[in-house]
Chains A and B, each alone.
Chain A
Amino acid sequence: MIKKETELLDEIKSKYKLEGKIQKERRICISITKNNLIAILKELKNLGFIHLSSISVTDWLDEGNYEITYHLWSYDDKILFTVKTKISRDKPEIQSVTPIWEENAQIHERELHELFGVNFKNNTDLSPLFLEDWDGPPPFRKDFNWREYVKENYYDINNKRETVYYD
């Protein structure tokens, strides 16, 4: 059903200036700037993409930015739409999508705020989810090396069972 994917992609391309492509059957991918993010996502929800599958953040250390990815699924047309955008790494801030997808989006953004340090404006509940009494840097960033941290704070070279970690 390649016809339906091209219709949807042309409709979005005609209203906003962006680049996108069809990867294979049932998969479309576009990448946009963060200014018209809310307008494009609202338009996609009206076209039938009512299920938000997941939100994810990738940390590109060399280029110095975070890339946020939204995966949307439509039950009527059976197509997966991927929307990608980039924000800066030193002061990460972006508008939240809870006015559009409500509690489904709120819990995903709460997890990403704790693990990557991204601030989602307009989200009413950003309290810590998994960790308790943690005051170090956000744990999933690429410059926080887990093996070095554990070796300094918890392991002891005189213990017979832990000498394997020191080579």
Chain B
Amino acid sequence: MVLTHRNVDGIDIVALAGRLVMADVPQVRQRLLAVVEQGQGKLALDLAEVSFMDSSGLSVLVSVFKAARLKNGDVALLRLNPTVRSLIELTRLHQIFAIFDDEAAALARLR
């Protein structure tokens, strides 16, 4: 799993690429929690290149969301492919995550 991190006006944008499954979870969780800890807790997760995710991947998203909310921040999910979107909706996590197809809209939400 490849993570690419940039910061735009205090908002962290992390793009993930590959499969977010149990084997990748410890590393991805640690890196995303570090981003939240070191930043303002405002994180846009670009999942356009995540081809597959399982429930352990979802656990990372929820853990990072909880960490961000503890800092009065938020996590927006960006550019979900149909497979990942289906999983998010199946597990009703769209009830807690703001989901966007457009980065500018996600950044506007997080500001």
Please indicate whether A and B come from the same complex rather than being unrelated chains.
no
Q: B residues bordering A, Cβ < 8 Å?
A: none
Q: A residues bordering B, Cβ < 8 Å?
A: none
